Chain A
Amino acid sequence: METKFKVEVLSKEDCVRIHEASLKILKETGVIFHGEQALEIFRKHGAEVDGKVVKFSQKIVEESIRKCPSKFKLTARDKQRSVTVGEGLLIHPPGGEIFVSDLDNGRRKGTLKDFANLQKLFQACDDIDIAGYQPISPEDVDTDFRGLYCTYESIKHTNKPMLSPMQLDNTQQMRESLELMEISFGGKGFFKDNYCTWQAVCPNSPLTYSDYACDGIIEYAKWNQPVLIVPAPMAGITSPAQIMGTIILQNAELLAGIVLAQLVNPGIPVIASASTTFANLKLATWECACPETALLVVAITQMNRDFYHLPARVQTGITSSKLVNYQAGYETMQSLLLSALAGAQLTSQSVGSMENLISVSYEKLIIDTEIVSRIRRILQGIDTSEEAFSIDLIQELGHKADYLWHDSTLELCRAGWQPTMADWNSYDNWHRDGSVDIMVTANKKVKEILANAPDKIIDEQLEKDLTSYIKMVEKNR
């Protein structure tokens, strides 16, 4: 459901100015593409290519934007769980985290078992719409096959829509992951007519697409799978220290990527995203948690969703905190609530991520789903119908405080939002029940979900097909 109210930090004219400034940069400064294949595609379509610098006309940019759908269906193995990207708010897992932590074992490098466990949590949590991706890097798997094993474990434990792992280091690995996924959807050719997954492509700010980023766009577009472009400049380090300058730079990067995607496969959905941050210039680090980053996220959502009519994803609801504590809570809420109110349609890193994307916490993941649930309630706004005005009722009861006894309250008493993690008890009752901290509540929930999760949700045949594919890949390497 779309919210009736909105947070905006840019005026309509600001959006036009940003667009025009981006066009100027694209035309005059251009963008470096390190991929030979990408350069060839640009040349073929008459773009101005000088060495590795590609310059874009207003026409090619605007035509490309027009070709992008503003929403599309992302198909899940369980069709009931398919989602429309570009409508409402969708939450997907964190990606790229290096360490994992839980209350029992502390912070450590992750394993494939952690990866599988996290997928089980994504599958079980209703507030997480999309699964897969790469919430942790499994250190016990050879780097050559990590992406493949992550893909396999995702298929094995979830039937929600499924994102590709982050670390597919080259086109061969991308292909293998896609082929494996396609097997799970019933076999070769399924992706030709169905959008089922995407991979995160990051330009190397400022204004550069690495070989690897070019491959990501070209390969997924060729497979007819959506392309996700995630500029990640750090204001003051790889883009101007001015918030506005950073918005323009990341916007220019996004538009350049859109052109490439549309040249490869006209009409392919492009998800416009940003993991743009306002750097912490005290340390020169990427900093997700500053208020300026939250403002950036709102502005970029406005540009992508309202100005370009593209599915708008943002990296939001993130924290720098090392512990799941007060800081983690307010930093997560700060940007997630704001971006949701700005109309973000898809968010990444909002459940479980910590330390500026360096680690993922089992418990925080669960606690964050409550934040998401709260935000979803807030987005619904309030019922302003005639009935909701309750004038008759107010007059009926007059000055008596008898609402609690009234049928109208009985009827609605379960309609209100309730927490699953927060404790709303009195001090005495909380104390009586063991003075339980939210981390302990979350830890219990994690264990409960994992204990109840099946070993796999796929049938024998599919498992056989998947493992024999993996064996084939391993043998041929």
Chain B
Amino acid sequence: MSTLADVAQSVVKGQMDKVKEHVQNLIDAGNAPLDIINNGLIEGMNVVGVHFKAGDMFVPEVLKSAKVMAAGVELVKPLIDDSEEQSKGVIVLGTVKGDLHDIGKNLVNMMMTSSGFKVIDIGIDMPPEKFADAIREHKPQILAMSALLTSTVYAMDDTIKYITTEGLRDRVKVIIGGAPITQEFAESIGADGFAPDAASAVDLCKELV
């Protein structure tokens, strides 16, 4: 017999075979698919998050856990009808125009995804128009921008202004981050929030949606 705790445990330990086995057992035993996801797989990632914040897990281990969780979700997904399938929210994420730094953004993506958000990563060097297009197409609750250069942080301002003139500003909360960003700067350009690291970015998103 497998339990939800077993599923969570396999996610924490990054055990691919085990997670599949436990999830399958639970499905066969008639557990509710959403229960397996929320109280097994995501619960496991929550524990991973705690370990990561405490410095007990390394990023590649977190990534492995995230992969394991995703494999578990894949097994359960066919059993959920679309109306039921719910993510915590949709986030459009990208590095702003002129900026090629993407490691921080990718980390933010990983942490958001493994906390149950659906992340649309539009990539690096993204002009305001591309962010606007992505809002129209994916209807996110949150627009998340990353920048690492003192010259490109202003592209965040440009993007916010652009989506405002396009009438899209009210549809999303805007969060920003990256080494040069401060809370003060975030406020000055009218962003809804700033996070200094990937884990706080997730907390921020949870607050905002």
Contacts and interface: CB of A to CB of B under 8 A. Distances in A.
A82 interface: no
Nearest to B98: A169
B196 interface: no
A282 B58 contact: yes
Interface of A: 98, 137, 139, 143, 146, 167, 169, 204, 210, 212, 234, 236-238, 281-286, 358
Interface string B30-47: 000000000000000000
Interface stretch (B77-85, B86-94, B148-156): B148-156
Contact of B150 (A139, A204, A238): A139
Interface string B99-131: 010010001000000000000000000000000
19 contacts: A98-B179, A98-B180, A139-B150, A143-B150, A143-B154, A146-B151, A167-B150, A169-B98, A169-B151, A210-B100, A236-B60, A238-B103, A281-B58, A281-B60, A282-B55, A284-B59, A284-B103, A284-B107, A286-B103
Nearest to B148: A98
Nearest to B149: A167
| Interface residues on chain B, size class | 10 to 19
B151 A137 contact: yes
Nearest to B110: A284
A236 B60 CA distance: 9
Given A167-B150, A236-B60, 9 more contacts: A146-B151, A167-B151, A237-B103, A281-B58, A282-B59, A283-B59, A284-B103, A284-B107, A358-B179
A281 B179 contact: no
A204 B100 contact: yes
Chief secondary structure at chain A's binding surface? loop
Interface string B150-186: 1100100000000000000000000000011000000
Contacts of B100: 204, 210, 212
A167 B58 CA distance: 33
A234 B104 CA distance: 13
B128 to A, nearest CB: 16
A56 B78 CA distance: 48
Interface of B: 55, 58-60, 98, 100, 103, 107, 149-151, 154, 179-180
Contacts, number: 35
Contacts of B58: 281-282
A286 B55 CA distance: 16
List 9 A-B pairs, minimum CB-CB distance, nearest first: A137-B150, A284-B59, A143-B151, A98-B180, A281-B58, A282-B58, A167-B151, A98-B150, A284-B107
A204 B58 CA distance: 24
Given A281-B60, A282-B58, A234 B154 contact: no
B151 A281 contact: no
A137 B58 CA distance: 33
Contacts of B103: 234, 237-238, 284-286
B3 to A, nearest CB: 31
Residue of A137, A234, A282, A358 with most partner-chain B CB within 10 A: A282
A238 B60 CA distance: 13
A146 B151 CA distance: 9
